[in-house]
Amino acid sequence: MLKIIVSLLFVVIIGGFVMSFANDVEENSTSSESVKPKSIYEFPLKDIDGKDVKLKKYKGTVLLIVNTASKCGYTPQYEGLQKIYEKYNAQKFYVLGFPANNFSEQEPGTEKEIKEFCESKYKVTFPMFAKISVKGADQDPLYTFLTGKETNPAFAGDISWNFNKFLVNKKGQIVARFSSKDKPDSEVVTQAIEKYLKEK
């Protein structure tokens, strides 16, 4: 009889341990899922001057997010980016520039050097951010979101080179992606911008 009682107690204790472990796993899983960002507005970043910026300040605007570089064959696209920024900014459109040194070390400078280059060479006035990594093991969370299949199934895929572009609508949804070869002021890009500026 004693053996039966001990056995029952053992089963109850082990069962309680298993249930507790399962609950912990479920809670941790739920917790991990809950912190997965669902919108670009959830990302805290730093601008090129080192000041904290939350992308939620751009809610209700159309955005063109671009990874930039100062020593690339596509660097002259800064001119086109500034051109469309000036053309559409009054309609709540922003270009967001993210310097990155991922491709052939074509953005080796400091934030200060990058800012001086952009302003003096191309008269850039659109928002520029601190240097980040747009691919690889140290990829910035924003670009993990932009390129991930789970978070951006329609336009997922690694950044192929400097000056890849993502278009974001007023609701924070990624609605188009353009290659480095697509000039910012080209018809294909400007037509898409105008389309989403018209949306409420």
Residue 70 parent element (H or E):
none
Tell me the C-alpha distance between 136 and 149, whole Å.
15
| Catalytically annotated residue among 45, 72, 175, 197 | 72
Q: Which of 194, 160, 163, 196 is nearest to 180 (CA)?
A: 163
Catalytic annotation present for 72: yes
Q: Which two tokens stand for residue 47?
A: 């601008």
Burial of 61 (0-12, 13-18, 19+ CB in 10 A): middle
Tell me the C-alpha distance between 39 and 174, whole Å.
9
Which residues carry out catalysis? 72
